[in-house]
Amino acid sequence: MSALALALRDASQIVARVAAGTSLAAEFERLAEHEAETSRAALIDLTHGTLRRYGRVQAIVRQLSRRGHSDAPVEALLWCALYALESGRYADYTVVDQAVRACGALERWSAKGYVNAVLRGFLRERGSLEARIGAEPEARHQHPQWWIELLRAAYPAQYAAVLDAGNAHPPMCLRVNTRRVGVADYQRRLGAAGIPARELGEAALLLERPVPVERLPGFDRGDVSVQDFGAQRAARCLELAAGQRVLDACAAPGGKSGHILERVQVELTALDADPARCVRLERNLARLGLAARVANADCTRLEEWWDGVPFDRVLADVPCSASGIVRRHPDIKWLRRAGDIAAFAARQGAILDALWQVLRPDGKLLYATCSVFPQENDAVIDAFIARRGAQAVRVPLTDGAAAQELPGADRDGFYYALIHKQA
């Protein structure tokens, strides 16, 4: 069986499980434990591409199918094949032929004629289909209706651009470890390796196109890390100084912890509630040649990890909807539910209340999310400050940028708020 038929088979099985509620990350973690017949690159392309266009490919199948819902693997196979047809990477006849063959690999032999008919119908009716599905917001914007409505309410003039960004391929930004190498020097090393990049600011270099980390000069030695430019704001906005006692409360996988330690010599405690992610955090710090006290703990359970000595700075990079980085995790927009946003906001408020207790008077707490929903951002901060009264004062971010940055060509969507604890 050809590589494309196998890739369609495996991708459709993954996408079907995601549609049933499993995360894409969990699927690829499971895949890494087994020897696969399909290349990882092909699977990433088919699964991520299909899920970015999930609303669209679902609408196309609804328009063309006379069966209603077929069984999950066949439905997912059609979604993946439609993405493959629209990607332009393969000849049309090849995709149709290999999707039919993939039916056999899925042991859905009776579905061969159905899959063939739907895909050929798409090729035949492509022009008229656009007008029909264009009237469906989920198909046009490729996000759930509730997500579209939240963004339209928050950003009437920008919501369509935010949705478009969520469907795009993400940029690849590097953070140069300036303790080891200068930004200009590292940019020259990239150029010598055939990797064009431009400087974004301070330690950031934006690659012209993504490359495997194995190609990055000095990656294994800790000369550079992969970190979105928006995420690099955290360490800059914390107002760090040498010798401070600093807490990164939801630290894994360690990108922001590493950046903090690269910028200033501080005494850092890094927490995460997931033991497997703590291992990854320690591994990332070791690669950079940096050290912190890493603890596997829920930051809200102070009795489990806090020694009673207050912190000068606290970074609360809280769990959130991840709506600002959805192009990196395209399954998120389909796995989330509208009710999740209020649940996240409640958890975020509880984290702030707990961490405020470990911050010393005159210290500062930086609240961070990778969300673009105001319900997780300004609303959470406004409610927290109202609970704390005059003790909590929101202060301007030192980099001069807006608290909410929306996803764009060179960065993901992040939100930051700096709160000063009055002495």
pLDDT in tens, 383-395: 999 999 999 999 9
Residue appearing with tokens 């890494």: 32
Name the average pLDDT for the chain: 95
C-alpha to C-alpha distance for 277 and 272, rounded to whole angstroms: 7
C-beta atoms surrounding 44 within 10 Å: 13
Of 249, 285, 289, 293, the closest CA to residue 267 belongs to 293
Query: What was the pLDDT predicted at 38?
Result: 76
Spell out the residues 6+ positions from residue 198 whose beta carbon is closer than 8 angstroms to its own. Answer: 205, 206, 208
pLDDT in tens, 275-313: 999 999 999 999 999 999 999 999 999 999 999 999 999
Query: What was the pLDDT predicted at 32?
Result: 74
Cα–Cα distance list, 357 to 132, 257, 348 (Å): 56, 21, 15
Residue appearing with tokens 């769990």: 319
Angle at alpha carbon of residue 226, lines to 221 and 230, rounded to 5°: 140
Q: Six-digit token pair at 177?
A: 């470890």
Residue 332 DSSP SS3: helix
Between strands 293-296 and 392-395, the pairing is unpaired
> Residue 405: is its pLDDT beyond 80?
yes
Angle between helices 24-32 and 40-52 (to 10 degrees): 170
Residue appearing with tokens 């501080």: 266
> Residue 35: is its pLDDT beyond 70?
no
Q: Which amino acid would we find at residue 113?
A: G
Sorting pLDDT into bands at 50, 70 and 90, what band is 351? very high
> Residue 337: is its pLDDT beyond 90?
yes
Spell out the residues 6+ positions from residue 369 whose beta carbon is closer than 8 angstroms to its own. Answer: 317, 318, 320, 324, 348, 376, 377, 414, 415
Active-site choice (250, 278, 320, 370): 370
Angle between helices 92-105 and 112-134 (to 10 degrees): 130
Query: What was the pLDDT predicted at 201?
Result: 85
What are the residues facing 366 on neighbouring strands?
Answer: 315, 418
Query: What was the pLDDT predicted at 39?
Result: 84
pLDDT in tens, 163-189: 999 999 999 999 999 999 999 999 999
Query: What was the pLDDT predicted at 36?
Result: 67
- Let me know: does 143 contact 133? Beta carbons within 8 Å: no
Query: What was the pLDDT predicted at 387?
Result: 97
As to burial, measured by CB atoms within 10 angstroms (0-12 exposed, 13-18 middle, 19+ buried), residue 276 is: exposed
Query: What was the pLDDT predicted at 41?
Result: 87
> Residue 47: is its pLDDT beyond 90?
yes
Query: What was the pLDDT predicted at 318?
Result: 98
Q: Looking at 274-413, which runs of residues are DSSP E strands? A: 293-296, 311-317, 359-369, 392-395, 404-405
What are the φ and ψ backbone dihedral angles of 296, each rounded to 5 degrees? -85, 100
Query: What was the pLDDT predicted at 53?
Result: 93
pLDDT in tens, 360-375: 999 999 999 999 999 9
Looking at residues 202-212, what average pLDDT do you find?
96
C-alpha to C-alpha distance for 410 and 197, rounded to whole angstroms: 12
**DSSP symbols for 236-289:** HHT---TT-EEEETT-TT-HHHHHHHHHS--EEEEEES-HHHHHHHHHHHHHHT
Annotation marks residue 370 as catalytic: yes
Query: What was the pLDDT predicted at 21?
Result: 93
pLDDT in tens, 247-283: 999 999 999 999 999 999 999 999 999 999 999 999 9
Angle at alpha carbon of residue 411, lines to 408 and 415, rounded to 5°: 95
Indicate the DSSP class of residue 309: P
> Residue 359: is its pLDDT beyond 90?
yes
> Residue 68: is its pLDDT beyond 70?
no
Of 209, 202, 211, 205, the closest CA to residue 224 belongs to 205
